[in-house]
């Protein structure tokens, strides 16, 4: 059966995350409904990961199989005409039968935005965490260095079933005036991992968490801090 | 009476423009209500210009007078705590009695964003005009050169009363892949001028309007084209 890969971009503000949930608007549900209108049958849409309510994606990968032979271009146009404006299909590609959006990608890149100024920026409030108080950015950079590299990340995660919790993580922090941009790259991520690492690093900047605490979280102590979901964006899926 | 200047930033999507209209949400109305809650009296809030429904501002200037003596910092914090998240007050400053937000500024800078790609960008759909078909960018650059400089702009405007319609306008067009960014700078602007110029220049790129048409619009023939409001942002008010 033909296997189709979709590259999708979405603003997550209106959605309860990727994964279908009865009675709630989700990205997977909205896309599956649009595909059903085009194909006249229900598909099982596989996504590259779950996302939390309010999280965005500039590049999300999904796939589905169908007995119907479709033109990639036509499918792209039909989907974009049916979908709401906060979800866009960037590309449709026929892929080999063995391709699976969940297991085939080699890695992912997430960005977390933080707006650090007394006044909010109305253009960013859906896409960044507004922290009005001053932050110790030197200490934050040192915390970022501590979590970069290969570590056991179970202290920063909600564990679900058997997964490899030892991960080689690359973290960077770029500062553009009031805007702080964290970037996280790894082969795979654990649930809540990015938001909890960001939450802990920002508390280091506030003086509420020490670098020793960060080391202990890396040794398995549970990190109780989290950053709000709306600052998080899945930026790139590495195929 | 003390005179206070506000520098404001707002996302215009939810508003019927700046100017108060009975029964409709407007930026001036929302700000005047917030000021009334703080001051316990109604103020006459003067804005630097009207904006159309859906137009945004990164830097808008307004002023009001009150018999009350207020701390600039307190007023800033109170306003930001009362206002909805799509309006932010960036600064509050006590200014000389003669300052008037409408007449004192020396100029303004507007930006117009255009997303020129077959697929929309969900992150930009509230802030840019999506034009899916290919555009002749060389011709557009020539049209931009034609409208730059000192001209009579009545052909591009809805005229209201006596205003100086001879304006020295600086226009630039910057291309970053699919994103086209027009920038307009002048001492003052006529109603609908930026949207009609952008509308005409984009039709040049589509092959629907010729450079000769542009020259005729500059000689007073009415331009019937316009660009949608949500791509327009007031970027800077020059004091």
Query: Which residue is closest to A78 within chain B, CA to CA?
Result: B119
For chain B, what percent of residues have pLDDT higher than 90? 94
CB contact under 8 A, A86 and B9: no
Measured in angstroms, the CA of A85 and the nearest CA of chain B are apart by 6
Query: Of how many residues is chain B composed?
Result: 239
Does the CB of A235 have a partner CB in chain B at under 8 Å? no
Q: Which residue in chain B has the smallest CA separation from A73?
A: B118
**B207 Cα to chain A: minimum distance (Å):** 23
Please give the average per-residue pLDDT across B179-191, as a whole number.
Answer: 96
- The residue in chain B having the minimum alpha-carbon distance to the alpha carbon of residue A233 is B123
Where in chain A is CATH 3.30.70.660?
Answer: 109-238
The topology (CATH level 3) of B107-238 is: Alpha-Beta Plaits (3.30.70)
Min Cα–Cα distance to chain A from B60, Å: 13
- For A107-141, the DSSP string reads EEEEEEEEE-SSS--TTTTTTSEE--S---HHHHH
User: Under an 8 A CB cutoff, do B10 and A122 touch?
Assistant: yes
The pLDDT tens digits of the residues spanning B5-35 come to 999 999 999 999 999 999 999 999 999 999 9
**Contact status, residue A97 vs residue A1, Cβ threshold 8 Å:** yes
B111 touches chain A (CB under 8 A): no
Q: Which residues contact A105 (CB under 8 A, 6 or more apart)?
A: A48, A61, A237, A238, A239
Q: Which residues of chain B does CATH 3.30.70.660 include?
A: 107-238
Q: Which fold has domain A109-238?
A: Alpha-Beta Plaits (3.30.70)
Q: What is the pLDDT of residue B159?
A: 85
Tell me whether residues A119 and B90 touch, CB distance under 8 A: yes
Which are the catalytic amino acids of A? 52
Of A88, A120, A122, the CB nearest to B121: A88
Domain with CATH 3.30.70.580 in chain A: 3-95
| Coil/strand/helix, residue A177 | coil
Interface test with B, best of A77, A119, A125, A127 (most B CBs within 10 A): A119
| CA closest to A132 among chain B residues | B77
Mean pLDDT, residues B144-169: 91
Give the ipTM of the model, two decimals please: 0.90
Q: Name the band, by pLDDT with cuts 50, 70 and 90, for residue B162.
A: low
Residues of B in contact with A90 (CB under 8 A): 119
pLDDT at A112: 98
What is the model's pLDDT at position B161?
A: 72
Taking CA atoms, what residue in B is nearest to A127?
Answer: B123
Q: DSSP code of A172?
A: E
- Chain A contact present for B56, CB below 8 A: yes
Which residues of B are known catalytic residues? Answer: 52
Q: How many CA atoms lie within 13 A of A15 on its CB side?
A: 24
Of B76, B88, B118, the CB nearest to A121: B88
Q: Does A35 touch chain B (CB under 8 A)?
A: no
Give B84 to chain A, closest Cα distance, Å. Answer: 9
pLDDT-derived band at B190 (thresholds 50, 70, 90) equals very high
Residue A162 has a pLDDT of 59
**Among the CATH numbers 3.40.50.10490, 3.30.70.580, 3.40.50.970, 3.30.300.30, which is that of B3-95?**
3.30.70.580
The one-character DSSP state at A178 is: T
CB of A177 within 8 Å of a chain B CB? The answer is no
State the Cα–Cα distance between residues A27 and A87, nearest whole angstrom.
8
Q: Does A74 touch chain B (CB under 8 A)?
A: no
C-alpha distance from B237 to closest chain A C-alpha (Å): 17
Average pLDDT per run of 10 along chain A, which is 239 residues long?
96 97 96 97 96 97 94 95 96 96 97 95 95 96 98 92 86 96 97 97 98 97 97 97
Task: For residues B101 and B47, give the distance between their C-alpha atoms in angstroms, rounded to a whole number.
Answer: 6
């Amino acid at each position: 059966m033909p296997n189709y890969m979709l590259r999708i971009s979405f603003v997550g503000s209106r959605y309860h995350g990727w994964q279908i949930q009865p009675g709630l608007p989700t990205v997977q549900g909205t896309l599956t409904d649009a595909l059903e209108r085009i194909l006249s049958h229900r598909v099982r849409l596989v996504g590259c990961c779950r996302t939390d309510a309010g999280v965005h994606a500039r590049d999300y990968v999904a796939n589905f199989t169908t007995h119907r032979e479709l033109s990639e271009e036509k499918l792209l146009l039909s989907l974009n005409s049916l979908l709401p404006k906060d979800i866009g299909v960037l590309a449709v590609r026929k892929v080999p039968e063995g391709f699976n959006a969940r297991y085939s990608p080699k890695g992912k890149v997430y960005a977390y935005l933080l707006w650090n100024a007394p006044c909010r920026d109305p253009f960013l409030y859906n896409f960044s965490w507004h922290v009005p108080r001053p932050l110790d950015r030197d200490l934050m950079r040192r915390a970022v260095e501590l979590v970069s590299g290969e570590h056991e990340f179970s202290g920063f995660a909600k564990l679900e079933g058997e997964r490899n919790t030892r991960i080689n993580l690359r973290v960077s922090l770029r500062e553009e005036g009031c805007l702080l941009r964290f970037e996280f790259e790894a082969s795979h991520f654990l649930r809540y991992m990015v938001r909890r690492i960001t939450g802990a690093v920002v508390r280091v900047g506030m003086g509420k968490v020490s670098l020793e605490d960060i080391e202990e979280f890396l040794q398995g102590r549970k990190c109780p801090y989290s950053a709000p979901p709306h600052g998080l964006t899945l930026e790139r899926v590495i195929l």
